[in-house]
Amino acid sequence: MPFTNVRSQWVAGNLEFVDAADPSKKVFGIPNISGSTTKAGGTLAVPITARFVTMTTGGVEALTLANGVPGQEITITLGTDGGDGTLTPATKTGFATIVFADAKDTAHLRYVDDTIGWILIGYYGTAAPPVVS
């Protein structure tokens, strides 16, 4: 159904675009997730509470990424290399894992919805890009 009159509103810290005639009809929402955080070595869950995450690995690690909210983007960078970190998101499309092997390996992901999950927008590294499979 096309919307001819859309307005924006804040709901629980999220910016939403709704039908002006019926605000219960959401057109599109943008999650209010910003800032940066770190993940210590030995912590396997990558936090989804910040837009930018700098990780430290403490040996070979099997990293996890929980489902996000539609429209959420996250950039994950290996800051301190203590071993390879293999990231496996709970729900994803187009890839299975991303291996962060060297400092500055970075991946940028977007969460689409609970069916598609995380998609890979881009990735890069200094020595070589992370291995995506």
In the prediction, which pLDDT does 132 show? 97
CATH fold, domain 33-132, is Jelly Rolls (2.60.120)
User: What Cα–Cα distance (Å) separates residue 15 from each residue in 21, 28, 55, 109?
Assistant: 18, 9, 28, 20
Domain boundaries, given as residue ranges, for the chain: 1-30, 33-132
Q: Give the integer Cα–Cα distance in Å for 104 and 83.
A: 13
Neighbouring-strand partners of residue 84: none
Classify the C-alpha dihedral 10-16-20-24 as positive or negative.
negative
Tokens coding 106: 């970075």
pTM of the complete model: 0.77
In the prediction, which pLDDT does 65 show? 97
The H or E element that residue 57 is part of is none
In the prediction, which pLDDT does 13 show? 52
Q: Do 29 and 12 contact (CB within 8 A), yes or no?
A: no
How far is CA 90 from its chain centroid? Answer: 11
In the prediction, which pLDDT does 8 show? 60
Tens-digit pLDDT profile for the chain (133 aa)? 454 566 666 555 555 566 677 777 665 555 556 778 888 888 899 999 899 999 999 999 999 999 999 989 999 999 999 999 999 999 999 999 999 999 999 999 999 999 999 999 999 998 999 999 9
